[in-house]
Structure formats: structure tokens, C-alpha cells
């Protein structure tokens, strides 16, 4: 390993104590031999590592809990939904995690595509290729002509019960 | 961060505000400190901390106890803080575009003069992602693995962010020393 590799390790695993014993010993041995890397390690520790590790922890201000509590209460009052229904709402929402506006346009385009393809396919389908439709159509035609020639049926079927119709028929 | 019993977490999930206060007492130190260091401002840290606890209160019902509560808290805290810092940084960039260059330089100098905390000055040199990794490691003492889990990134990405952050800080310190001489 060259000095650059060593310095990369010094900046991460070595300073942070994340190295296994074998690697740690390798770096230590190198530092004993290389003055340049020794200087690098000293500078890194002093200027960059120690100030952060030794920094004081900042405590939250006293008013923080009061603010958070007020916000929680305000939100609960605003929603007006009891907590058990709120849980139900969350569960329903989690069933559809992908329903975001980003998917709306592709979904719309797919729907349009299906409609167009479906329309072209069914409109171009010849009647003869669908025997059930042919049977249905021809049966309908036969029934119509029978009814048309049957006066009784025609009379019955054409009677709309108005005076004008009775006069003409 | 202090450990909490499963019973307290369940009570808080059911809406018990006293149990939630116990959670706040156990985690607020970590949350506020991380928020402060990542967003690098106390006022903004107030807002981030509030947001973190409101998210925790809302999401606690969905917490399945399969992952550790600590990791869950780390994740919410660090993601909220990073998002806030990135948003803030974008807003600042937009402001700089409208400000006269000299005016902006004066603002920076005023901020530097008023800021006596070395850590704040150092962290200000980094991107929010680098800052987050460095804060979690050097200030909060999390392992690389814990940071990777909290940020949902590869452990080598954690290594590389820490390395780049420290390199950037070393370059900055060198410049400061050269300027002082």
C-alpha cells in the first residue's frame, strides 16, 4: 500500500477506530517508517478529528416539549378523527403506496392506449368471425320479418294507445 | 440515547401523551444535537426537532418493533435534518443570485465574525450529506454500520463521505493557517 492509500485509511477507519487489529498494525508500522504520513495523521487528528469528537453536546431548550405537546394537541383537535379511525386511514393509505401524482400521467396514457387498441380491434372484427353474433343478428331479423307480416302482432305492437295513432292505423 | 421499554412505546403508540413525553426525554438530546449540527443553526434546529417528534408521534402506530427503536429514531432525525438543510441551502443559493456580490461577502464576514464555535465553522464547509455522516460518527459516536442503516446507504458510501468531508476540512484549515500567517 502506498502513502495515498494509507492516508485514506487514516482519515476514515484508523481515526474512527473501525479497523481490525491486523490493518491497525499495518498502519502503525507505516507511521513509524513514514514521516510524511505521521505528519498527516497528526494534522488530521488535531485539526479535524479532535474538535468534533470533543465538542459539547447541545441540549434542547426547556420550551421545546411544551411546543411539541401543543402542536400534537392542535393537530388532534384539527383533524377531529378519533385515533382508531386515524389508524384505519393510515392502513388504507399504506395499501396504495404508489398512488402519487408522478404515476397519474403514465396511468392515464395506458388507459387511453387500451381504449384505442380495444376500439380498433373490436370495430375491425368481421361479423362472420363471431358465430354467436351472426346467429343473434339473423334470429333477430327473422323475428322482425315474422312480426312485420303478422297483422295481429303488428297491430298489437304498433298500438301506442293515442287517438292520432288509432286514426291512422 | 437512553433505552426505552416496549411497554412505553406501545402506550405512546396508543396515544398516551405521558408515554410520549418519556420518549421525548430519552431522545431529545440526540435529536436536538444532531439537528443543530446538521442544519448548523439553533433556530432551524428548533424547527427540525419539532418536526422529528411530530413525525415520530404520527408514525409510532406503524412501528413494528422488528427494527430497533434507536435506528428508527436515527433515521427520522437524520433524514428530516438533511432535507431541511438541503432546502435551506437551495433558498440561500437563490438569495445569493439576487444579492449584489459585495453585499453577500459582507454577510459572510459578519456571520464568521459572530460565530465563535469552531465546530460550526468547520461544519459549514461541508455538504448536508457529508455533515450528517461526520456528525453521526464524530459527535454522536455511531458506527459506520449504524450510519449506513440510518441513511439507508452502503457502508462504503459512508466511508467515502467521511473521507471527503475530512479532506475538505483539512484543506480549509490549511487555508486559514496560511491566511493567519
Q: Give chain B's mean pLDDT.
A: 85
The segment with the largest mean pLDDT, out of A82-86, A87-91, A115-119, B48-52, is B48-52
Contact B17 A69 (CB under 8 A): yes
Cell 294507445 locates to A161
Contact A60 B29 (CB under 8 A): yes
State how far the Cα of A38 lies from the Cα of B1, in Å rounded to an integer.
35
| pLDDT in the model for residue A131 | 57
Chain A residue numbers with beta carbons less than 8 Å from the beta carbon of B144 are 16, 18
* A134 assigned to some structural domain: yes
Contacts of B57 (CB under 8 A, 6+ apart): A72, B12, B20
* A101 assigned to some structural domain: no
* A112 assigned to some structural domain: no
Query: Based on the number of CB atoms within 10 Å of its own CB, is B136 exposed (0-12), middle (13-18) or buried (19 or more)?
Result: buried
Q: Which domains does chain B have, with CATH numbers?
A: 6-180 (1.10.1740.10)
DSSP assignment of B148-173? HHHHTS-HHHHHHHHHHHHHHHHHHH
DSSP assignment of A120-143? HHHHSS-GGG-HHHHHHHHHHHHH
Query: Which triple of cell numbers denotes residue A45?
Result: 487528528
Chain B: residues touching A (Cβ < 8 Å) = 14-15, 17, 20-21, 24, 28-29, 31-33, 36-37, 42, 45-46, 49-50, 53-54, 57, 61-62, 118-119, 122, 134-135, 137-139, 143-144, 159, 162-163, 166-167, 169-170, 173
Q: CB-based contact (8 Å) between A57 and chain B?
A: yes
Query: Helix A35-43 and helix A21-33: axis angle, to 10°?
Result: 110
| Tens-digit pLDDT profile for residues B40-62 | 888 899 999 999 999 999 998 88
* A102 assigned to some structural domain: no
Greater confidence, B133 or B64?
B133
Band (B176; pLDDT cuts 50, 70, 90): confident
Task: List the end-to-end C-alpha distance of chain B, in Å, as a whole number.
Answer: 42
* A111 assigned to some structural domain: no
Ranges A139-148, B94-103, B151-160: which has the least confidence: B94-103
Residue B168 has pLDDT above 90, yes or no: yes
| pLDDT in the model for residue B137 | 95
State how far the Cα of B162 lies from the Cα of B133, in Å rounded to an integer.
6
Band (A104; pLDDT cuts 50, 70, 90): confident
* A136 assigned to some structural domain: yes
Greater confidence, B92 or B160?
B160
Q: How many domains does chain A have?
A: 2
Residue A97 has pLDDT above 70, yes or no: no
| pLDDT in the model for residue A44 | 94
Closest CA–CA distance from residue B98 to any residue of chain A (Å): 32
User: From the list B24, B36, B134, which residue is nearest A65 (CB)?
Assistant: B24
| Tens-digit pLDDT profile for residues B71-92 | 899 999 999 999 999 988 877 7
Query: Residue B30 in contact with residue B77, Cβ under 8 Å?
Result: yes
State how far the Cα of B53 lies from the Cα of B76, in Å rounded to an integer.
9
Backbone angles phi, psi at B99, to 5 degrees: -85, 150
Query: Which triple of cell numbers denotes residue B75?
Result: 433515521
* A133 assigned to some structural domain: yes
Contact B42 A58 (CB under 8 A): yes
Query: Residue B83 in contact with residue B77, Cβ under 8 Å?
Result: no
Residue A151 has pLDDT above 90, yes or no: no
Greater confidence, A50 or B94?
A50
Closest CA–CA distance from residue A133 to any residue of chain B (Å): 54
For residue A49, give its domain range. Answer: 3-53
Nearest Cα to Cα of residue B163 among A48, A2, A37: A48
Q: CB-based contact (8 Å) between A53 and chain B?
A: yes
Q: CB-based contact (8 Å) between A87 and chain B?
A: yes
Query: Based on the number of CB atoms within 10 Å of its own CB, is B160 exposed (0-12), middle (13-18) or buried (19 or more)?
Result: middle
* A100 assigned to some structural domain: no
Q: How far is CA B86 from CA A22, B82, B130, B167, in A?
A: 40, 6, 12, 21
Amino acid at each position: 500500500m502506498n502513502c495515498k492509500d494509507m492516508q485514506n485509511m487514516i482519515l476514515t477507519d484508523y481515526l474512527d477506530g473501525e479497523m481490525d487489529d491486523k490493518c491497525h498494525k499495518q498502519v502503525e508500522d507505516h507511521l513509524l517508517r513514514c514521516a510524511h504520513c505521521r505528519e498527516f495523521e497528526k494534522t488530521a487528528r488535531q485539526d479535524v478529528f479532535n474538535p468534533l469528537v470533543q465538542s459539547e453536546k447541545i441540549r434542547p431548550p426547556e420550551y421545546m416539549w411544551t411546543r411539541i405537546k401543543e402542536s400534537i394537541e392542535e393537530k388532534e383537535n384539527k383533524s377531529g378523527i378519533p385515533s382508531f379511525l386515524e389508524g384505519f386511514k393510515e392502513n388504507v393509505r399504506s395499501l396504495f403506496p404508489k398512488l402519487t401524482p408522478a404515476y397519474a400521467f403514465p396511468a392515464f396514457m395506458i388507459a387511453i392506449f387500451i381504449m384505442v387498441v380495444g376500439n380498433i380491434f373490436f370495430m375491425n372484427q368481421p361479423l362472420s368471425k363471431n358465430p354467436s353474433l351472426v346467429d343473434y343478428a339473423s334470429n333477430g331479423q327473422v323475428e322482425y320479418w315474422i312480426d312485420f307480416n303478422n297483422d295481429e302482432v303488428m297491430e298489437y305492437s304498433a298500438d301506442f294507445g293515442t287517438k292520432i295513432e288509432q286514426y291512422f292505423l | 440515547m437512553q433505552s426505552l421499554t416496549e411497554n412505553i412505546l406501545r402506550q405512546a403508540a396508543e396515544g398516551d401523551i405521558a408515554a410520549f413525553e418519556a420518549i421525548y426525554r430519552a431522545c431529545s438530546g440526540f435529536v436536538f444535537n444532531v439537528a443543530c449540527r446538521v442544519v448548523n443553526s439553533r433556530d432551524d434546529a428548533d424547527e427540525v426537532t419539532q418536526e422529528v417528534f411530530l413525525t415520530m408521534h404520527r408514525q409510532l402506530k406503524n412501528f413494528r418493533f422488528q427494527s430497533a427503536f434507536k435506528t428508527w429514531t436515527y433515521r427520522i432525525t437524520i433524514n428530516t435534518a438533511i432535507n431541511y438543510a438541503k432546502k435551506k441551502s437551495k433558498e440561500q443559493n437563490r438569495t445569493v443570485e439576487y444579492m449584489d456580490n459585495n453585499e453577500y461577502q459582507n454577510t459572510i464576514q459578519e456571520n464568521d465574525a459572530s460565530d465563535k464555535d469552531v465546530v460550526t465553522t468547520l461544519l459549514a464547509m461541508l455538504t448536508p450529506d457529508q455533515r450528517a455522516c461526520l456528525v453521526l460518527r464524530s459527535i454522536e459516536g455511531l458506527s459506520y454500520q449504524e450510519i449506513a442503516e440510518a441513511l439507508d446507504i452502503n457502508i462504503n458510501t459512508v466511508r467515502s463521505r467521511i473521507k471527503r468531508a475530512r479532506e475538505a476540512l483539512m484543506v480549509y484549515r490549511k487555508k486559514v493557517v496560511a491566511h493567519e500567517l
